[in-house]
Amino acid sequence: MIHRKLQSVIEGNLFKGKAIILIGARQVGKSTLFNQIIKERKEAVLTLNCDEPEVKEMLTNINTPELKMLIGSNTIVVIDEAQRVPEIGLTLKRITDNFVNVQLLVTGSSSFELQSNLNEPLTGRKYEYHLYPISTAELYDTQGLLAVKQMFESRLIYGSYPDIINHADEAKELLMNITNSYLYKDLLAINEIRRPVLLEKLLIALALQTGNEVSYNEVAQTIGTDNKTVEKYIDLLEKCYVIFRLNAFNRNLRTELKKGKKIYFYDNGIRNAVIQNFAPLSLRQDTGALWENFFISERIKANHYKGNYAKSFFWRTTQQQEIDYIEEADGKFTAFEMKWNPNKRQTTFPSPFLNNYPIKETVIITPENYLEWIM
């Protein structure tokens, strides 16, 4: 089993009087991580899965005396897929406030803001962490450098979900199952998603534009809907941890794009499953896009697990000068260009950006040097 970076962090915050919230896409290993933590402890554990209708109903509007009966002598309470329960934030607050010797461990596969009922009740009462698909650093820590290098191309194509890493020979079948059975599950449970066919068309359109600037207007025309629906569905896809947005950075220059957006997938395998293309890199026309998606998602994982609070953007001007990816941290900027084939052409960073902002570093990321930036 691959050791997750968050395990020691969560273990260090147990029984400090706060709920521990673990968010992330379905099937990234949230329940497995909590089970691993629990296995090494002696406390009595109550596990409640909110995907089960009876559990969801019981936790909806449950009062404190009923909670006391439910929890009994257990001192660890695990609540899986908590976003399923209306007003779950108030229930979690009751447990945290009234059962001071009980440690709450909560998972959710869509932002609780989606149900808009967690953040306010639990203000100051929670530790919140995001669990991603397996990171390169986690793979290295568990299986070593050789495995990282051997699995490199496979991860660009099939991604890094735990099941995929652990059962590589069944990767295609497992990915299609994750996509069809789980990817849409929370989204289609939300009342605002009334057109699942449109959602699928949108995902395909976004997958085909990975690494490119996305125009909501053009996407809307392509899939036959309006801008507002595209924006709403993209927002929901982001809140279910399928995709993430990079906004265009603009601050000083009149020529900088003001409202540009790029959209990436948290996992290459999900992206390729959406367009049903698992061809090897040698037969693909989108290797550059896969490489860019892979590195940026891995960099975001690494920053989160290390506690590096960097803001992420891309940069482009109306003269088509651009930088693939930039990070702002402590008032300074690191600029990244991703090159699958670094010998293809010389890369220079645009002088308007370099001359107008405090630069910490400029980096050309290739398959030869990427590891030092994501470990």
Say what the pLDDT of residue 192 is: 61
The secondary structure of residue 280, as a DSSP letter, is -
Rounded CA-CA distance 313/64 in Å is 45
Domains of the chain by start residue, with CATH: 6-130 (3.40.50.300), 136-306 (1.10.10)
Q: What are phi and psi of 290, to 5 degrees?
A: -65, -40
Q: What is the pTM of this model?
A: 0.92
pLDDT at 89: 85
Position 98 pLDDT exceeds 60:
yes
Residues of the chain with pLDDT > 90, as a percent, come to: 72
- The confidence band for 53, taking pLDDT boundaries of 50, 70 and 90, is very high
Whether the CB-CB separation of 71 and 42 falls below 8 Å is answered with: no
- 269 CB contacts (<8 Å, ≥6 apart)? 155, 157, 158, 159, 160, 161, 164, 171, 175
Q: What is the mean pLDDT of the chain?
A: 91
**Tens of pLDDT, residues 299-356:** 999 999 999 999 999 999 888 889 999 999 999 999 999 999 877 666 789 999 999 9
Strand pairing report for 322-329 and 332-338: antiparallel
Strands 19-23, 126-130: pairing kind: parallel
236 by DSSP, 3-state: which? helix
